Amino acid sequence: MALRLLLLFLVVVCGQWPGDKVIASSLPKQQPAGLLILGDSISAAYGIDKSYGWVALLENRLHGQCPEVAVYNVSVSGETTAGGLVRLPDLLSRFRPALVVVELGGNDGLRGLPPAQMQSNLQQMARLVRAAGAQPIFLGILIPPNYGESYRRLFEQAIVSAASIEQVPLLEFFLAGVADRKELMQADGLHPTEEAQTLLLANAWQVLSKPLLQLCGDNELAGTPNIP
């Protein structure tokens, strides 16, 4: 009798019999897979409307074709690899991305910072990303020849070596097909114009396509690889 009263009490107060499973709607929703863009002024769409930047163009395509992937653009104009390394742990904790694109190094070169330190910073970022359960990707950059052949060679080798040692997919020159076309660069000669952004997205797609397709599951991201 006492046992029956106890079971009845549980039904009235708790709304379920002991051992009943919690319904799925009461469980917290899973956070969307995240794509984190950690870059400098190029990814921050310096000098143009941010809604036309290459990251925004990518986000718009994913929103329509792969809404389960959220894009977080945390790029800052003037950012160096050292600055990105300092910011990265908090960003990984806050956004919990599945994929992290590191588009840094250009400001290291423009400031003449040591390539060896840049390489170390990039390698540490790759390790932090993987430790957080995400996949890193590097978008590389080249510097003008007026910095001297020796420094230019060390700079380019540093990015390639960091990617090779940490086995990170690398696009060696993010501005390929853009930097050498005056009409696609702003007056400062450093930043791409609005018209260049589709080309930047096409370049980035070379290393983004495979991991994004994996995140999108059955979705095919129709048309994205054929950006003009």
Catalytic residue among 40, 43, 75, 191: 191
Does 224 reside within a domain?
no
Q: How many domains does the chain have?
A: 1
Nearest to 206 by CA among 174, 162, 184: 174
Written as one letter, the residue type at 30 is: Q
pLDDT value for 220? 60
Domain CATH for 38: 3.40.50.1110
46 in helix, strand or coil? coil
* Mean pLDDT value across residues 66-79: 95
What pLDDT digit, counting tens, does each position of 117-163 carry?
999 999 999 999 999 999 999 999 999 888 899 999 999 999 999 99
Mean pLDDT of 49-57: 97
Helix, strand and coil content of the chain, in percent to the nearest 5, comes to 50, 10, 35
Q: Is 78 inside a domain boundary? A: yes
221 pLDDT tier (thresholds 50, 70, 90): low
Higher pLDDT, 22 or 56: 56
Confidence of residue 219 (pLDDT cuts 50, 70, 90): low
Q: Kindly state whether residue 227 falls inside one of the protein's structural domains.
A: no
Output the pLDDT for position 144: 86
Residue 105 exposure: Cα atoms within 13 Å on the Cβ side: 35
In a domain, 86, yes or no: yes
pLDDT of residue 122: 98
Tell me the C-alpha distance between 105 and 97, whole Å.
Answer: 21
Choice among 2-6, 44-48, 117-121 with the minimum mean pLDDT: 2-6
Options 49, 180, 188, 218, the catalytic residue: 188
Question: What are the pLDDT digits (tens) for 10-35?
Answer: 334 444 444 433 333 333 345 568 99
Query: Looking at this protein, which amino acid is placed at residue 145?
Result: P
Closest listed residue to residue 100, CA positions, set 130, 124, 76:
130
**Beta-strand relationship, 170-171 and 99-103:** unpaired
The sheet carrying 135-139 orders its strands as 69-73, 33-39, 99-103, 135-139, 170-171
Task: Give the three-class secondary structure for 167.
Answer: coil
In a domain, 2, yes or no: no
The catalytic residue among 40, 41, 75, 108 is 41
Type of residue at 80:
T
Residue 206 has pLDDT above 50, yes or no: yes
Catalytic residue flag (residue 191): yes
Mean pLDDT of the region 196-207: 98
Residue 114: is its pLDDT beyond 50?
Answer: yes
Q: Tell me the three state secondary structure of residue 39.
A: strand
90, pLDDT greater than 60: yes
Q: Is residue 16 part of a domain?
A: no
Tell me, yes or no, if 188 is annotated catalytic. Answer: yes
| Whether 120 is catalytic | no
**CB under 8 Å, gap of 24 or more: what pairs does 155-160 form?**
155/105, 155/108, 155/109, 155/115, 155/118, 157/115, 158/105, 158/115, 158/116, 158/118, 158/119, 158/122, 159/105, 159/118, 159/119, 159/122
**What is the average pLDDT across 74-89?**
98
User: Does residue 143 belong to any structural domain of this protein?
Assistant: yes
Residues contacting 138, CB < 8 A, separation 6+: 101, 102, 103, 122, 126, 159, 162, 163, 168, 169, 170, 171, 207
pLDDT at 158: 98
Confidence band for 64, pLDDT divided at 50, 70 and 90: confident
83: domain range? 32-213
